Amino acid sequence: MSVIRELYEKVAQPMPGNEQPRDEYIESVYLFPQARDRQLKGLPPVEEWSEAERQLGEETVKMNRYIDGQLVNWKQVIREELQGTRQKRRHMGKYEQSNATASAYFFDSRN
């Protein structure tokens, strides 16, 4: 269960705000769910667990719920940031286009 604990500790940290550290952080977190799935598939059936394994399993379930919730939250934050960036690009594009067409006309007030 060490992979799950590592992922839990990783997602418990706040996501970095800067672009480059954030990308590295997301890439490092991206690999954990695959390893977590492999580790969970390799477990024996629940009926064969000892009491200690059962407690560890309950703790793991709680960590997995937290991890899944954090990943959903991050996905939402990233989606909102992307939408904001797209809106800014569209807005700036319209602004640049309107200035280009307006500056193309020259009116001589002396005539």
CA 8/CA 29 separation, integer angstroms: 10
Beta carbons within 10 angstroms of residue 91's beta carbon: 10
- Is residue 109 assigned to a domain? no
| Domain count within the chain | 1
What's CA 10's distance to the chain center, in Å?
Answer: 12
- Is residue 111 assigned to a domain? no
- Is residue 97 assigned to a domain? yes
- Is residue 62 assigned to a domain? yes
- Is residue 110 assigned to a domain? no
pLDDT at res. 104 = 53
CA 16/CA 35 separation, integer angstroms: 23
- Tens of pLDDT along 49-106? 888 888 988 888 899 899 889 989 988 988 888 898 888 888 776 655 555 555 555 5
Which residue range forms the structural domain that includes residue 82?
3-11+18-103
pLDDT at res. 107 = 58
pLDDT at res. 7 = 85
Question: Hunting for tokens 């799950």 — which residue is that?
Answer: 4
- Is residue 35 assigned to a domain? yes
